[in-house]
A and B are shown apart, each in its own frame.
Chain A
Amino acid sequence: MATLLDRLWDPHVVADLGEGWSLLHIDRVLLHDLSGARALTEVGEKGHAVARPDLVFATPDHAVSSAPGRTSETFAGGARPIAGLRQRAKETGVRLFDLGQPGHGIVHVMGPELGIVLPGVTLVCGDSHTCTNGGVGALAFGIGASELTHVLATQTLMQRKPRAMRLTYEGVLPKGVTAKDMILAAIGKLGTAGGTGYAVEYAGSAVRALGVEARLTLCNLSIEMGAKMGFVAPDETVFQWLAGRRFAPKGAHWDAALRDWQGLRSDVGARFDAEHAIDAATIAPQITWGTSPEQVLPVTATIPAPATPGDRAALDYMGLEPGRPIAGTKVDWVFIGSCTNSRISDLRDAAVLLRPGAKVAPGVTAWVVPGSEIVKREAEAEGLHRRFLDAGFEWREPGCALCVAANGEAVPPGARCVSTSNRNFVGRQGTGARTHLASPAMAAAAALTGAITDVRAF
């Protein structure tokens, strides 16, 4: 009786190190311009070669401007790390997807999009949202820069197997409710430490009904629940989505891969260390009110009275009054982007709200930042960018941008932003910025009305 975690983990154990520790083979490594550039440099400084450059892929995403026409120097602070990444990638033979090339993008968007990430592979990146890639059925997790250096030098990592949790969503999602709402609702229920020490398998009919991009969104916020990794058993939906992608197996290899992938699921009756269930039909569009993703509400709810000093501080920071409905709260900024919600289906979800003549509300600054060059080109081919631009959104270049404000772009102090990203921490989108996490459609609704709005009213 094996769980999916067992099936992903066990075959990758190169050596059992005792006491629950394994030396785990890592099949794919993704690098970005901050931790990745650093680790590539460090591995050389420590006198090691990159063990398997053929399994390593790099792209600059964090410290790059998203302004139209940008280069790696538009944001001066990013020029050096990006130059370093390029230089070291060249020296070591690591493949780099540079600005403007198909394949460039937010590291967790470009990986699955290119088929670098596949069901059943182990994948690491020096980035906590590596768990996103579990959406295709990979065992993917974030690590620190030192562990990343270890992986680059040896293609392995010493890890302890996490405990297995299953989070089941049965039922049909109501209209206007998305994977983002599913995972925010779970974090609201289990808390930001609810998944600490666990690998989370998302299961149930509502999960199986999701497209691959929505599964990536679902897994993206595993880390906000404390879980280093989260995944969905790969199925026909995943196989069809991956077929033909640039680094997906071809021909006989594809057939062999399919045979392997079909076995990647938990046995009926497999035992989990923890189990939780959420009725998908009861989930409403979610919006965060505080400075932690667990401080989240259905958009129909009222702002809660503070239960702890932490709640009090969060309400103060957010400038909110308990007892008032969260809907109707005026917003100044809207950000549609990040590795959570910047894929083509996310942009389509947002664009659905843009009826002819629709306009961003006066005084609201609204950005759309596609997750990758391929997403951007696809959206432009469909004319989505025109619709966003005509409605008064800014259409920008791919990267992390306002998700983390590491590239010189920031929401101004005190401004309120509805954001499709994953972290509403104090100062995350800029010093003093107030972040409300929500789905792309909820973000678009906020942009058009100038206030937090129930997307189901559209």
Chain B
Amino acid sequence: MDPFTTLTGVAAPLLRANIVTDMIIPIQHLVGATRQGLGQHAFERFRDHPDWPLARAAYKGAPILLAGENFGCGSSREGAVWTLQGIGVRCVIAPSFGDIFFNNCFQNGVLPVRLPEDAIRRIAAEVEESPGNARVTVDLERQVVVTPRGEAIPFAVDARKKSALIEGLDEIALTKKRAEEIAAWQARDKQARPWAWESVAP
């Protein structure tokens, strides 16, 4: 996983609520697919529509997405994150996220930032003053989003997820350090709930 520290770039406004992961990538492209090469299918059922915000040349390859409420709800497909990465996205800013998508982002070095809707609209308005030129900075260390005009908007992030992103930590390796604790829990549970183990014993 690539570490995430700070990111400066174009922010593309996609201010619609309830963008489901089905919209980001239709499932058939994930059947037998690898993580790479999914960007070509990003939003393919929507992107040819004249009103589709990301269709504008100014927003091509934007590393930051400004989104509406409940972004990434629906299917758990992690391919939705890989697809966004495939079009260059490293950070999504939205008022709220689908729970599974939110976790999937951290697993892949993509930062999901929760900001109030009016703050996101403000950033979008500043971006739209000079589409393709205005730059937004997301500074994870300081936990601020800096708008094109220089306003610094603070955001909250979980300390555990923050350090995992900054250091690019491998969560499996971290958890494996607790192998003894896990084994002890299992031994205790086998005493307490033998039925939960015996019933599926091969």
Which A residues are closer than 8 A to B by beta carbons? 14-15, 17-19, 21, 23, 25, 27-28, 34-35, 46, 48, 54-55, 62-63, 77-78, 80-81, 93, 95, 115-116, 118, 120-121, 126-128, 142-147, 149-150, 153-156, 158, 160, 162, 192-193, 196-197, 223-224, 226, 228, 247-250, 253-254, 256-257, 260, 292, 310, 404-406, 423, 425-428, 431
Contacts and interface: CB of A to CB of B under 8 A. Distances in A.
A255 to B, nearest CB: 9
B200 to A, nearest CB: 5
Given A19-B158, A146-B104, A250-B199, A80 B175 contact: no
A27 B76 contact: no
A146 B108 contact: yes
A290 B171 CA distance: 40
Given A144-B107, A193-B69, A25 B200 contact: no
Contacts of B195: 118, 249, 253-254, 256-257, 260
Contacts of B176: 48, 153-154
Nearest 3 A-B pairs (CB), nearest first?
A146-B107, A144-B104, A144-B78
A256 B96 CA distance: 42
A180 to B, nearest CB: 18
A115 B202 CA distance: 14
B167 interface: no
B73 A150 contact: no
A131 B103 CA distance: 17
Most chain-A CB neighbours within 10 Å: which of B16, B26, B69, B181? B26
B142 interface: no
A14 B175 CA distance: 11
A34 B171 contact: no
Contact of A128 (B75, B160, B186): B75
Contacts of A405: 27-28
Contacts of B118: none
A406 B182 contact: no
A423 B27 CA distance: 13
Contacts of B32: 63, 77-78, 80-81
A162 B75 CA distance: 18
A247 B73 contact: no
A76 to B, nearest CB: 10
Nearest to B159: A19
A42 to B, nearest CB: 10
A55 B190 CA distance: 13
Interface stretch (B3-11, B17-25, B59-67, B126-134): B17-25
Given A146-B78, A248-B199, A425 B96 contact: no
A41 B29 CA distance: 19
A427 B200 contact: no
Nearest to A33: B31
Given A14-B185, A25-B185, A156-B175, A256 B202 contact: no
A143 B189 contact: no
24 contacts: A23-B178, A34-B30, A54-B200, A81-B32, A143-B100, A143-B103, A144-B107, A154-B176, A154-B182, A155-B186, A156-B178, A156-B182, A158-B175, A160-B158, A162-B99, A192-B70, A196-B70, A223-B74, A248-B199, A253-B194, A253-B198, A292-B18, A406-B30, A427-B22
Contacts of A25: 182, 185-186, 189
Nearest to A13: B185
B121 interface: no
A434 to B, nearest CB: 13
A396 to B, nearest CB: 19
Contacts of B199: 115, 118, 247-250, 253, 257
A292 B23 CA distance: 12
B73 A193 contact: yes
Nearest to A198: B99
A149 B103 CA distance: 13
Given A18-B159, A118-B199, A425-B23, 19 more contacts: A15-B178, A17-B160, A21-B158, A21-B160, A23-B181, A54-B201, A77-B31, A128-B100, A143-B100, A144-B104, A146-B104, A154-B172, A226-B73, A292-B18, A310-B16, A310-B18, A425-B74, A426-B22, A431-B45
